Homo-oligomer: A and B are copies of this chain.
Amino acid sequence: MFQLSKKVEYGLIVLRHMAMKPRGQVFTAKELANEYEIPYELLAKVLQKLAKSGIVVSMQGVKGGYALGQKPEAIIVSDIIRVIEKERPMLAGCYVDGPLSCSIFDICTIRKPLEKIQKNINSLFDKMTIQEIV
């Protein structure tokens, strides 16, 4: 429980890889998947999501691939997670899906107190950039 998904891990790994090479260099999903022994199709989808959000830029066709879309120090870990998972890492389901998602929302006594921890966690992911995992 309480773990980042494999998709997020794969995303972080390849973004870091790109960040370590000269700016603008292009990588194919295939070579990245080989390098890190990541299932190709899965990584491809991750890269497509990162591309849609501009974290990487994609080029189709022969000689295509992906390159970083921003400077490593501008790529925030919490953005990466949100792009890949469509949500921040949340301690409780009700933080994500609201009152209707929890049968005891009204009488829950721990939602507010846990928000303190939630905020702190948010700030950890907000502060870390790809630059810092190079």
Chain A residues within CB distance 8 Å of chain B: 1-5, 9, 12-13, 16-17, 35-38, 85, 87, 89-93, 103-104, 107-110, 113-114, 116-117, 120-121, 124-125, 128, 132-133
Say yes or no: B1 contacts A85, CB within 8 Å.
Answer: yes
Top 7 A-B pairs, shortest CB-CB distance: A113-B133, A2-B89, A12-B110, A37-B104, A117-B124, A120-B124, A1-B5
Say yes or no: B1 contacts A89, CB within 8 Å.
Answer: yes
How many copies, total?
2
Given the interface pairs A2-B2, A2-B90, A90-B3, the reply to whether A107 lies near B37 with Cβ below 8 Å is yes
Given the interface pairs A1-B4, A1-B5, A5-B1, the reply to whether A36 lies near B104 with Cβ below 8 Å is yes
